[in-house]
């Protein structure tokens, strides 16, 4: 039997600077990677220049900083973009990064109509799970529509939106929720495209055909495989019955995947290698539901930033499966299986009911509150099951005895740290770029951009003009902030319950909180904060819900707070303890600022605790700053964490 060609193989990567990331991309491509997946840093994702106050400590940490056309040209130096398939995980600033990519292609002398790749551009899931939104929903949806209307003719091989269920699962979504919430996003986007009149009716099928998905695959790989098959069935049904798409090729579920990072553990991290391989089976075993592109996380992502060797290992996993095994020699292995068909039907029917519920609320935009609360509740249930031992996690709540891992005993601790000099070097490069450009051209380009935004003209031509004129990421985003305003998404913590009220550890926690509250003369007031640009709020939300259940009075104001705002809230709310969540690697810089401000405000007696992806090598430095407790992903017992926090008072 003829072997099927393998899927597109990527690694999600980018760090420090465009130059360093370019070198990494060339290395990975030389090792057999067949596409690129660009990770951008948080200032780029949230529309700030590298020298903005909100960017402090965040530059180059979780991805590559792209401030202007110079950075984009450097990122793809020696890599012809018209021949590359590039995925960009970018949402609020997706139109801008696509404009920079197109401008870079034009400067390379490439054919823009040949560009292939994907912009994630799924802003609804940002409101629900990842937090890199900027603009209100209606304006964000308008930007998505503009990108779709532009690319369908000008960049016809580009996927302008990659509807992303991946982060929904990371935020706690069940398989049914992951299917339903994602399909509802697709419905919202396609309805908006039709209503806009920006795409001619005869080209609407092409729009449907360019909708792609980015899914998650967890450790329950049989159920996850069935989830994908249910996705395939429902997408085919929706595109045919709701949108009248007749050509089967336009009704295909085209999806890429990164397997589950939520399940990667800090304890016994070598176990993650097995987890990643099993999860990959979910999206490769079934030919009729096989992924078009796969990027695997590295085994050490719960520790810190992966090194080139770690990314190579993830790539080799894909290459061994596709080249050494006989997987690609056979048709679908599961067609006709009554077990699989029953599970697929169960998931599909559950998703249909959830879709009906969201449609009854008015669609995805109006149902953001409902979906957010549902995710927080589902995630709380998952954590409760891990704490109770109902959900087994090897090395965490069972089989915890372990030898020392040789993978983490080297001088680097088993992961890469971004050079602290990288941020200032990027700022220096940005300042030099600003001095080199024509100010009049920049001013005119920004005026054209704002006019397009105000007059409902397609935003893409003006954005490409901005890219060529030398406009920066922050300037583009702030021009649109002036027109569209900014948005604060719901936190989802109201009305949720997290704990098993009958659990002995929870009863002891409640008793302790009650006793401490009597000593303080009222309920313990706890500020839960997310400083910096890190929008991954799942952990903070679960702490807030559990603390409230335990009797704390919780002040939780959501994501993206400045150090000034956190200290002001601690002062104005009269809190007894401050709990901070930082997952982006910017903990040293942000906590140094916060602790100094707390002392200046006379609040240095209030204990500050922090949780996040914090290496052991940074722990002592944080404690010396005055941080009272440091928690990392291995600390999964929320009752114990909150009991220790209560003991600080």
Which tens digit of pLDDT belongs to each residue from 616-649?
A: 899 999 999 999 999 999 999 999 999 999 999 9
Is residue 12 annotated as a catalytic residue, yes or no? yes
Residue 360 exposed, middle or buried by CB count within 10 Å (0-12, 13-18, 19+): exposed
pLDDT for residue 114 is more than 90: yes
Is residue 534 annotated as a catalytic residue, yes or no? yes
Is residue 15 annotated as a catalytic residue, yes or no? no
List 49, 51, 534, 593, catalytic entry: 534
Rounded to an integer, what distance in angstroms lies between the CA atom of residue 317 and that of residue 299?
11
pLDDT for residue 443 is more than 90: yes
Q: So what's the pLDDT on residue 2?
A: 81
Q: So what's the pLDDT on residue 64?
A: 98
Q: What is the mean pLDDT of the chain?
A: 95
The answer to whether the beta carbons of residues 347 and 227 sit under 8 Å apart is yes
Is residue 167 annotated as a catalytic residue, yes or no? yes
Q: Helical H runs in 53-155?
A: 69-75, 94-107, 123-125, 137-154
Q: What is the pLDDT of residues 581-600, one digit of tens each?
A: 999 999 999 999 999 999 99
pLDDT for residue 141 is more than 80: yes
Q: pLDDT band at residue 501, thresholds of 50, 70 and 90?
A: confident
List 12, 133, 556, 631, catalytic entry: 12
Residues sharing a CB contact under 8 Å with residue 407, sequence separation 6 or more, in sequence order: 269, 270, 299, 300, 414
Q: What are the C-alpha distances in Å from 264 to residues 114, 395, 490, 537?
A: 37, 11, 27, 17
- SS3 assignment, position 617: helix
Rounded to an integer, what distance in angstroms lies between the CA atom of residue 566 and that of residue 578?
9
pLDDT for residue 410 is more than 90: no
Q: So what's the pLDDT on residue 496?
A: 67
Q: pLDDT band at residue 520, thresholds of 50, 70 and 90?
A: confident
Q: Helical H runs in 211-270?
A: 221-241
List 125, 343, 536, 576, catalytic entry: 536
Q: So what's the pLDDT on residue 413?
A: 86
Q: pLDDT band at residue 490, thresholds of 50, 70 and 90?
A: confident
Q: pLDDT band at residue 557, thresholds of 50, 70 and 90?
A: confident
- SS3 assignment, position 494: coil
Nearest CA-CA partner of 376 in 486, 501, 489, 511: 489
List 166, 250, 255, 631, catalytic entry: 166
List 167, 267, 379, 587, catalytic entry: 167
The beta-strand segments (E) located in 249-354 are: 255-259, 293-295
**pTM of the predicted model, to two decimals?**
0.94
Share of the chain above pLDDT 70, in %: 99
List 198, 372, 530, 576, catalytic entry: 530
Mean pLDDT of 394-415: 91
């Amino acid at each position: 039997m003829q072997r099927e060609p393998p899927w597109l193989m990527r690694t999600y990567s980018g760090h420090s600077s465009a130059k360093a990331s370019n070198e990494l991309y060339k290395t990975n491509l030389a090792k057999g990677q067949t596409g690129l997946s660009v990770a951008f840093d948080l200032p780029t994702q949230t529309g700030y220049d590298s020298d903005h106050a909100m960017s402090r400590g965040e530059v180059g940490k979780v991805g590559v900083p792209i401030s202007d056309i110079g950075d984009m040209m450097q990122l793809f130096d020696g890599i012809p973009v018209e021949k590359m398939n590039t995925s960009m995980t970018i949402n609020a600033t997706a139109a801008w990064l696509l404009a920079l990519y197109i401008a870079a292609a034009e400067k390379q002398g490439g054919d823009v109509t040949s560009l292939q790749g994907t912009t994630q551009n799924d802003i609804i899931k940002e409101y629900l799970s990842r937090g890199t939104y900027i603009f209100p929903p209606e304006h964000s949806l308008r930007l998505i529509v503009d990108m779709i209307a532009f690319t369908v003719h000008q960049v016809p091989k580009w996927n302008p939106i990659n509807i992303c269920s991946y982060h929904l699962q990371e935020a706690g979504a069940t398989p049914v929720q992951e299917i339903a919430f994602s399909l509802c996003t697709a419905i919202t986007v396609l309805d908006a495209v039709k209503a806009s009149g920006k795409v001619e009716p005869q080209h609407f099928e092409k729009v449907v055909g360019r909708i792609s998905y980015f899914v998650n695959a967890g450790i329950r790989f049989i159920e996850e495989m069935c989830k994908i098959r249910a996705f395939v069935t429902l997408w085919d049904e929706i595109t045919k019955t709701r949108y009248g798409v007749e050509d089967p090729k336009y009704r295909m579920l085209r999806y890429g995947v990164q397997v589950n990072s939520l399940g990667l553990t800090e304890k016994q991290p070598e176990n993650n290698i097995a987890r990643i391989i099993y999860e990959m089976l979910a999206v490769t075993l079934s030919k009729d539901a096989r992924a078009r592109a796969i990027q695997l996380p590295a085994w050490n992502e719960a520790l810190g930033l992966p090194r080139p060797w770690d990314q190579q290992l993830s790539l080799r996993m894909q290459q061994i499966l596709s080249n050494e095994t006989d997987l690609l020699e056979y048709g679908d292995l599961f067609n006709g299986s009554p077990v699989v068909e029953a599970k697929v039907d169960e998931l599909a029917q559950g998703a249909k009911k959830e879709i009906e519920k969201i449609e009854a609320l008015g669609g995805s935009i109006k149902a953001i509150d409902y979906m957010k609360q549902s995710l927080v509740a589902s995630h709380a249930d998952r954590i409760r099951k891990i704490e109770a031992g109902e959900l087994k996690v090897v090395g965490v709540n069972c089989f915890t005895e372990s030898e020392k891992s040789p993978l983490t005993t080297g001088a680097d601790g088993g992961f890469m740290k971004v050079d602290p000099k990288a941020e200032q070097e990027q700022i220096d490069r940005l300042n030099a770029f600003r001095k080199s450009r024509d100010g009049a051209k920049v001013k005119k380009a920004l005026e054209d951009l704002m006019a397009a935004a105000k007059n409902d003209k397609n935003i893409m031509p003006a954005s490409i003009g901005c890219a060529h004129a030398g406009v920066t990421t922050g300037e583009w985003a702030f021009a649109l902030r002036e027109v569209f305003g900014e948005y604060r998404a719901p936190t989802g913590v109201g009305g949720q319950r997290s704990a098993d009220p009958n659990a002995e550890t929870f009863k002891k926690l409640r008793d302790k909180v009650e006793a401490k509250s009597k000593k303080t003369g009222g309920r313990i007031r706890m500020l839960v904060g997310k400083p910096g640009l890190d929008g991954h709020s799942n952990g903070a939300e679960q702490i807030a819900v559990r603390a409230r259940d335990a009797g704390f009075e919780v002040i939780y104001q959501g994501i993206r707070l400045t150090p000034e705002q956190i200290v002001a809230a601690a002062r104005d709310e009269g809190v007894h303890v401050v709990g901070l969540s930082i997952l982006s690697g910017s903990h040293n810089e942000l906590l140094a600022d916060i602790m100094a401000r707390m002392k200046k405000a006379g609040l240095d007696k209030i204990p500050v605790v922090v949780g996040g992806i914090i290496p052991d090598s940074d722990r002592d430095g944080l404690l010396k700053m005055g941080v009272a407790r440091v928690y990392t992903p291995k600390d999964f017992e929320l009752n114990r964490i909150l009991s220790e926090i209560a003991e600080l008072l």
